[in-house]
Amino acid sequence: MPRLILASQSPRRRELLEQIGLTFDVIPADINESVQAGELAVDFVARMAREKAEAVARQQPDALVLGSDTAVVVDEHILGKPADKADARRMLGLLSGREHAVLSAVALIVPGQAERVITQVSRVRFRSISETEMHAYWRSGEPKDKAGAYAIQGLGAVFVEHLSGSYSGVMGLPLFETARLLEEAGISSL
Ligand SMILES: Cc1cn([C@H]2C[C@H](O)[C@@H](COP(=O)(O)OP(=O)(O)OP(=O)(O)O)O2)c(=O)[nH]c1=O
């Protein structure tokens, strides 16, 4: 069995990949995560997932490497992780009382093969969030390292009126798409 590496520092991604019974190592990728002028959100997340996988594959040329990226998109805004409390407040204000998209891309590099990327799109509708709740939510510590300043798997679940798409994708690693990529490469969960 070839070695599988998850190119991520995210504890959520590690838990999700463990959920489908895979054995793997974790090596975080250190890349520049800024959006290029005029770049569409779908292109941005796919490029980030690819660049994370490529950065680790350069150090580990014999391994299969998975990279992933998640962004929350509302209107033309791509929301990454909030810089501080004011930024989290801004993001939650944009998400309050309406629907947004969560884009999660996963890239797989297999030695000697063309790189593959799948981008999964979910739609999430939030109820209205009051100013008091935004402050309380920030104080919980949860928004800090999450795209869009919320976590569907945590306290943020109370805002989620409706989800269509992939719960694991919103959390950071779409498992259906990930399993499909790995199966094509000969790694099966079952
Ligand atoms: C929307 C949402 C995001 N998130 C998290 C998943 C990701 O960890 C993070 C998005 O940031 P990313 O920049 O995609 O990932 P990361 O920096 O945490 O990890 P790495 O780049 O090393 O792979 O937000 C949740 O945990 N729950 C949610 O509901």
Q: What is the per-residue pLDDT across 139-189, written as a single tens digit (0 to 9) for each?
A: 999 999 999 999 999 999 999 999 999 999 999 999 999 999 999 999 998
Identify the residue whose C-alpha is closest to ligand 1 atom 6: 172
Q: What is the value of pTM for the model shown?
A: 0.96
Query: In angstroms, rounded to a whole number, what is the distance separating the alpha carbons of residues 67 and 132?
Result: 37
pLDDT band at 125 (very low <50, low <70, confident <90, very high): very high
Predicted local confidence at residue 140, as pLDDT: 98
Is the pLDDT reported for residue 2 higher than 90? no
89 CB near ligand 1 (under 6 Å): no
Q: What is the DSSP string of 10-27?
A: -HHHHHHHHHTT---EE-
Query: In angstroms, rounded to a whole number, what is the distance separating the alpha carbons of residues 6 and 31?
Result: 15
Q: Which atom of ligand 1 is nearest to the CA of 67?
A: 23
Predicted local confidence at residue 186, as pLDDT: 93
Which residue numbers are catalytic?
Answer: 69
ipTM over 0.90: yes
pLDDT band at 128 (very low <50, low <70, confident <90, very high): very high
Query: In angstroms, rounded to a whole number, what is the distance separating the alpha carbons of residues 171 and 152?
Result: 7
Task: Delimit the domains of the chain by residue range.
Answer: 4-184
Cβ atoms 140, 96 nearer than 8 A: no
pLDDT band at 76 (very low <50, low <70, confident <90, very high): confident
pLDDT digits (tens, 9 = 90+) for 43-61: 999 999 999 999 999 999 9
Predicted local confidence at residue 115, as pLDDT: 97
Indicate the average pLDDT of the chain. 97
Predicted local confidence at residue 69, as pLDDT: 97
146 CB near ligand 1 (under 6 Å): yes
Cβ-based burial of 113 (10 A; exposed 0-12, middle 13-18, buried ≥19): exposed
Q: What is the mean pLDDT of residues 67-79?
A: 96
Q: What is the mean pLDDT of residues 111-139?
A: 97
Predicted local confidence at residue 1, as pLDDT: 72
Is the pLDDT reported for residue 129 higher than 80? yes
Q: Which atom of ligand 1 is nearest to the CA of 72?
A: 1
Query: In angstroms, rounded to a whole number, what is the distance separating the alpha carbons of residues 181 and 167?
Result: 18
pLDDT band at 105 (very low <50, low <70, confident <90, very high): very high
Query: In angstroms, rounded to a whole number, what is the distance separating the alpha carbons of residues 38 and 21?
Result: 39
Name the architecture of domain 4-184: Alpha-Beta Complex (3.90)
168 CB near ligand 1 (under 6 Å): no
